[in-house]
């Protein structure tokens, strides 16, 4: 895989297993491994590939600018779980299908909750997809998560897409967040890493069905978003162009 220039940085790693710097050994919690890490080698977290610092500041600012336009057409919303609880992470989306949730269930919808079309997926996001998932079909769905102060995302699996063999690509922007990955079964051993602005995670193979979540955000730790907070963009092949698009919600659904 070709990366534009070697990038070095510092990895904050917490988990069981060897520290990614390989200088510290396993079975301890490493709060802040401050040893430079070669970005040409991704971290492997239970099969999740994390490219630390893949996106430089310019690329991150371009994406944020595109997301500001996106959010004018599709505002961030608070979704309800099927159980009726409000999620703390605010969400919006783009593409032929985007993920939504309300009391009637969750899944991919061709329209926003207010009935409008989702905006197109910004071109700069396809550029990221091609860098890390070059062999996969292009994504038809973009989910944008906003983490304000005190927000988190509980451990879950992503399995609403029609074809689970395609990767999911996740882009972190803004404040740092503690990301946790387990295995395919709930309650197994987990590993965690702090995701920083510009980090890109690729979920494929075994890790595609791994349980994962965001334990917490270091609110105000980043400089990209002037008011603080974290944005996570995930790109997926949800199934808009697939014959197996049963994951797509029927368009007749209304409020």
Write down how long the chain is: 255
Which residue among 131, 151, 170, 190 contacts ligand MD3 (CB under 6 A)?
A: 170
- The verdict on 201 binding ligand MD3 (CB under 6 A) reads yes
Q: Which is nearer to Fe ion, 102 or 158 (CB)?
A: 158
CA dist list (Å): 117 to 71, 72, 96, 189, 248: 13, 12, 8, 41, 14
> What is the distance between the alpha carbons of residues 196 and 165, in angstroms, rounded to a whole number?
27
> What is the distance between the alpha carbons of residues 22 and 24, in angstroms, rounded to a whole number?
6
CB of 212 to Fe ion, least distance (A): 6
The answer to whether the beta carbons of residues 46 and 53 sit under 8 Å apart is no
Tell me whether strands 191-195 and 177-181 are parallel, antiparallel or unpaired. Answer: antiparallel
CB of 23 to ligand MD3, least distance (A): 26
> What is the distance between the alpha carbons of residues 137 and 135, in angstroms, rounded to a whole number?
7
- The verdict on 212 binding ligand MD3 (CB under 6 A) reads yes
CB of 247 to ligand MD3, least distance (A): 14
> What is the distance between the alpha carbons of residues 113 and 75, in angstroms, rounded to a whole number?
10
Footprint (CB under 6 A) of ligand MD3, residues 127-156: 143, 145, 153
The answer to whether the beta carbons of residues 39 and 50 sit under 8 Å apart is no
Tokens representing 158 are 């992503």
Q: Identify what 133 binds: ligand MD3, Fe ion, none; CB under 5 to 8 Å per kind.
A: none
CB of 117 to Fe ion, least distance (A): 24
Name the DSSP letter for residue 132: H
Q: Identify what 153 binds: Fe ion, ligand MD3, none; CB under 5 to 8 Å per kind.
A: ligand MD3
Q: Which residues is 44 bridged to in the sheet?
A: 49
Q: Which is nearer to ligand MD3, 33 or 210 (CB)?
A: 210
Q: Which is nearer to ligand MD3, 136 or 207 (CB)?
A: 207
CB of 172 to ligand MD3, least distance (A): 7
Which residue among 158, 163, 216, 218 contacts ligand MD3 (CB under 6 A)?
A: 158
CB of 7 to Fe ion, least distance (A): 26
Name the residues that contact ligand MD3, by CB under 6 A.
48, 143, 145, 153, 158, 168, 170, 179, 201, 203, 207-208, 210, 212, 214, 232, 234
């Amino acid at each position: 895989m070709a990366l534009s220039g070697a990038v070095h940085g510092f990895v904050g790693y917490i988990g069981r297993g060897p520290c990614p710097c390989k200088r510290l050994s396993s079975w301890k919690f490493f709060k802040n491994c401050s040893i430079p890490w070669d970005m040409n080698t991704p971290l492997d977290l239970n099969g999740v590939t994390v490219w630390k610092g893949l996106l430089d500041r310019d690329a991150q600012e371009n994406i944020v600018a595109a997301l500001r336009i996106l959010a004018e057409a599709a505002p961030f919303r608070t979704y309800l779980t099927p159980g009726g609880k409000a999620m703390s992470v605010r969400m919006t989306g783009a593409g032929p299908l985007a993920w939504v949730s309300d009391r009637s269930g969750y899944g991919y919808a061709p329209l926003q909750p207010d009935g409008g079309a989702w905006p197109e997926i910004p071109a700069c996001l396809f550029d990221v997809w091609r860098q890390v998932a070059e062999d996969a079909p292009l994504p038809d769905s973009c989910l944008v998560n906003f983490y304000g102060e005190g927000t988190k995302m509980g451990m879950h699996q992503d399995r609403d897409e029609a074809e689970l063999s395609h990767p999911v690509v996740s882009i972190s922007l803004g404040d740092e967040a503690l990301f946790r990955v387990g295995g395919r079964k709930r309650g197994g051993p987990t590993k965690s890493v702090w995701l920083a602005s510009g980090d890109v995670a690729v979920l494929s193979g075994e890790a595609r069905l791994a349980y994962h979540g965001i334990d917490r955000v270091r609110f105000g730790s980043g400089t990209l978003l002037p008011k603080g907070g974290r944005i996570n963009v995930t790109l997926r092949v949800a199934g808009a162009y697939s014959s197996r698009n049963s994951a797509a919600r029927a368009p007749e659904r209304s409020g």
